[in-house]
Amino acid sequence: MKRTTIILFLLGLSIFEVQAQTVPNPNTAQWWSSPGIIGTALLIAIVSFVAIIIIGSRLSTLIQHLQKKTESKNKESLKSELINLEAEELDLILEKRKAAKTYSLTGNELSGPNSIDDGRGLVTKITHDPENPLVDEKMRETLRLETPEALRNLLIWYLGAAVFWLVFGTLVGQYVGMKFIWPEMDQSAWLSFGRLRPVHTNTVFWGWASLAMVGLGYFVISRTSNTSIFSYTVAKVAWYLMNSAVLVGNILLMSGVNNGGGEYREYIWPVALLFALGLILTCYNFYKTVADRKISEIYISNWYLMGGLMWTITLVVIGYMPSYQDGLGETVIQGYYMHQGVGMWFMTFTLGLVYYYLPTALNKPIYSYSLGVLAFWTQMLFYTLIGTHHFVFSPLPWWLQTVAIVFSVGMFIPVLAGTTNFLMTMKGSWSAISKSYVLPFFLVGVVFYFVGSTQGSLQAFRLTNFIWHFTDFNVAHSHMTMYGIITFLLWACMYSIVPKVTGNEPPGLGVGIHFWMAFVGLFAYMISLMAGGTLRGLSWIEGEPFIQSVVLMQPYWVWRAIGGSLMFVSHLVFAYNFYEMAKKDKRPPVRPTTPFSSAQA
Amino acid sequence: MFDFHKNHKLLFATAFLGFVMLSTVISIIPALQMQEVKPLPGMKDLNSEELKGLRVYVSENCMACHTQQVRNIEMDQVWGQRPSLASDYYYSKKRLDLWRQSPSLLGSERTGPDLTEVGKRQPGQEWHLLHLYNPRIVVKESIMPAYPWLFEEKSPAMVTQKDVLVPVSDDLLKNPGYKLVAKPEAMALIAYLQSLVQIDVGQNLGPDFIPSTRKKKNQADGQESLDLIGVQLYAETCAACHQTSGEGIAGAFPPLAGSKIVNDPDANILVQIILSGYDARPEFGAMPGFANLLTDEEIAAIANHERNSWGNKAPAVTPGQVAEIRKFIQKQ
């Protein structure tokens, strides 16, 4: 009850803020100090934070109340037990307890009196200094998950294809970014900017992120349902369908066949149909696996995974149905589609992955199941409604724009709930971060989840739209989210699971180089485009000649290309690391002991 | 009853139906409503040449860098006389064919200028030809891709009457001595770009721009600020053809530096050309008139900038003189 009240209050507050902005004379001269940019952000951040603390405390009182009930019950039964005991029995129990209380260890229970001797040669290496002074010596993965051969191969297939598309897609992205500095790089129609840009975006979307997500998802769904995948054949078929969609789609885009230029649906419908079929098969396969689970509860990850799949299938169908897409009908759908593509597919699914891989990497349970549930439903409710914020001040209906802005603010709730959940799960394990090569990726991803999403909500305001819309700031935002959040989290998941499954560790130095180059590259990319985009928007507001804003961007485009190069090179390193991890296992097989693997047998 | 965490059918059905319902409300219903709009009076459907041009526009994905929407905020006033309306897209945003849907013309990035009114701003065919063949011939700072595959080089013997020649200098061609000819795709694309103008809906009928509160520098008077406007207006309106250097482009646009007309103590002809355009010299492209686009003050400022830059020296023109010439032309 209280929770709904808080949510309603929050929404009311945001409506108030948004209405305050529709005063037909926003002061663009002092945009930086406008209440729309600073005040709202701060206020709502604080309120949401307080709301979540309140929700947390309410939940904990409820749990305490229940715990007390069981405690008093136990006390009653103990009392009646004590009363029924004989005096002699009581003495015996007391003496035993006394002896137990005074017992202390001697210190050589395990080794005995003999000196230390590695008679069987179990210790292979003793080191007091790190191998490489540049990067911290990371802990080796000792846990080995006994995985069925078929599942392991499936994982490697999906992840391998994803890595290929990442390298290809970002190579194209890097090339396209360099064209801002050297527009005369080539004279070929197939490599022109307009045609290559969607090749970059679609490849990293449908090739890299989607395939990596589905591959990692198969492991989660099988593991958390404690059963084997419903059908490996279906999974393989889906793999072929999705990869061929990306391949054929890219060739068509480069030859000048695109669906109409709407972002992320540039593939014409027969190609999109291939991908959609792949998704439908995957969804069916996941659903059957969950339905056949060997435990009664559906783990929270699977909510997100199934939600992501079902929602995205709906989305593709709505995005490609022609009957309501003439005139600005297409624009309404475009806003809806491009935002939901990011929100319902990449974000939802990746969150589901984090709900499994983060706790397993830390070897402890997720902080709060309930926060995960709250974030799931609010993700569905709020994210769905905000697509039109890509078309603020456009000829689309004003009410549609306002709804989009209001619910963009509502996005604080799932974002804060998710971030809190992940950070609280990490709490107490901070020291593990410097020792692990996986956790830094998680940390960066989670922090970007908060920063990127919050910044996106702020960007939806009408005032911020004045300055940032149509500029490179948008590009910075999309890289902050698709790269900072999705890609970093996917790397984290891959580094955390592949060594456990194959038994091969990635080279430590390689992971270090990968992390730092990608991280620094992203920062250079983001900051330069944000700064340049802001200046460009201000130049437009000033009414300066347009070409001046192109000249002004030049140094920022150079920095973007530098950042992009770092990111691309880090992907080459990552591809090598992945190859090292995915190689055939050299470790001796471990006896299957876990209940999971016996369920497979 | 609501055991979502144990009943997978209930959980997934709720998530699925909830999303479908929300999507219907937020996308399908508004989209159907937006389809209901009617075209504005006076709007014409694209002719077959323009439609062919639109296909080239989509195929080269010009939407990646060029928007076609004038937002209802003051900073967008430079791109159109009024904010865009849903009706403006009645003819241009129809399904292209069986394979391709209605093009996303509104765009989301303005890496290059908005094209809502490019047909009015840049009506000349020669400019477009040069600009498409290589944008940096006409705008040095441009980062737009060149589209050489919309053109072909023909030996002079092969050139026919129908061919449209592009006036590029010889050193830009791969085959010296050849002529650069625009392919039909280039001509169609230009026809489409030339068709892009906003339909006038009358003074008070269209939506208003939301004004911004920035201080208008232009309102300050005095000669110095007038010069400043002259430079800026010249950059916005004239430099695309005559270049910031005033040197023009050989074979396409005449130089203003050292021009007899510009340096003439009597500014009559210069102002007349700015007002009503010029197409008397076959070796150069046609110039459109700016009578409807610029005020008397703005034309005076531009003329004075031209008359006092790049080594030119001629007496100043006043807005009053421009007004008189305007009246004289209107009478004719």
Cβ distance of B78 and A546 shorter than 8 Å: yes
* B179 sits in which H/E element: strand B179-182
CA–CA min distance A578, chain B (Å): 34
Strand partners, B165: B181
In this structure, are residues A42 and A13 in contact, taking their beta carbons and an 8 Å threshold? no
Helix (H, G, I), strand (E, B), or coil: what is residue B151? Answer: strand
- Pick from A317-321, A399-403, A466-470, B203-207: least confident: B203-207
3-state secondary structure B302-327: HHHHHHCCCCCCCCCCCHHHHHHHHH
- Pick from A94-98, A165-169, B60-64, B314-318: least confident: B314-318
Strand partners, B181: B152, B165
Cβ distance of B75 and A543 shorter than 8 Å: yes
Residue B185 binned pLDDT confidence (cut-offs 50, 70, 90): very high
How large is the ipTM? 0.83
pLDDT of residue B275: 85
Looking at chain A, the whole-number percentage of residues with pLDDT higher than 70 is: 85
Cβ distance of B102 and A330 shorter than 8 Å: yes
Spatial separation of the C-alpha atoms in residues B258 and B237, rounded to whole Å: 20
Cβ distance of B101 and A256 shorter than 8 Å: no
Token pair for A552: 């002004």
Using one digit for the tens of pLDDT, what is the confidence trace for A493-541?
Answer: 999 999 999 888 899 889 989 999 999 999 899 989 999 999 999 999 8
- Following DSSP, what letter does each residue of A398-447 receive, concatenated? HHHHHHHHHHHHHTHHHHHHHHHHHHHHHTT-HHHHHH-SSHHHHHHHHH
Of B26, B31, B67, Cβ closest to residue A325: B31
Residue A33 has pLDDT above 70, yes or no: no
List C-alpha distances in Å: A285 to A128, A218, A282, B39, B291: 49, 9, 5, 48, 68
* A358 sits in which H/E element: helix A348-362
CA–CA min distance B58, chain A (Å): 6
- Following DSSP, what letter does each residue of A440-484 receive, concatenated? HHHHHHHHHHHHHHHHHHHHTSHHHHHHHTBSTHHHHHHHHHIII
Residues 6+ apart with CB under 8 A from B132: B146, B147, B150, B151, B186, B189, B190
Of A25, A184, A297, Cβ closest to residue B6: A297
Torsion of CA B141, B143, B144, B150, to 10 degrees: 80
pLDDT of residue B251: 73
Spatial separation of the C-alpha atoms in residues A105 and A124, rounded to whole Å: 30
Spatial separation of the C-alpha atoms in residues B128 and B182, rounded to whole Å: 11
pLDDT of residue B99: 92
CA–CA min distance B314, chain A (Å): 26
Cβ distance of B22 and A287 shorter than 8 Å: no
Looking at residues A85-107, what average pLDDT do you find?
A: 87
Look up tokens 């080191």; give the residue.
A127
| CA B228 to chain CA mean position, Å | 24
A294 vs B262, higher pLDDT = A294
Residue A121 CB neighbour total at 10 angstroms: 6
Spatial separation of the C-alpha atoms in residues B317 and B272, rounded to whole Å: 12
Spatial separation of the C-alpha atoms in residues B146 and B203, rounded to whole Å: 39
- Helices A398-410 and A369-383: angle between axes, nearest 10 degrees: 170
Out of A584-588, B69-73, B267-271, give the one with best mean pLDDT. B69-73
pLDDT of residue A27: 55
Spatial separation of the C-alpha atoms in residues B99 and A266, rounded to whole Å: 11
Interface A-B, measured as beta-carbon pairs within 8 A, has a size of 274
Spatial separation of the C-alpha atoms in residues A546 and B24, rounded to whole Å: 39
Spatial separation of the C-alpha atoms in residues A215 and A227, rounded to whole Å: 16
Using one digit for the tens of pLDDT, what is the confidence trace for B279-323?
Answer: 777 777 778 888 877 888 888 888 888 888 888 888 888 888 888
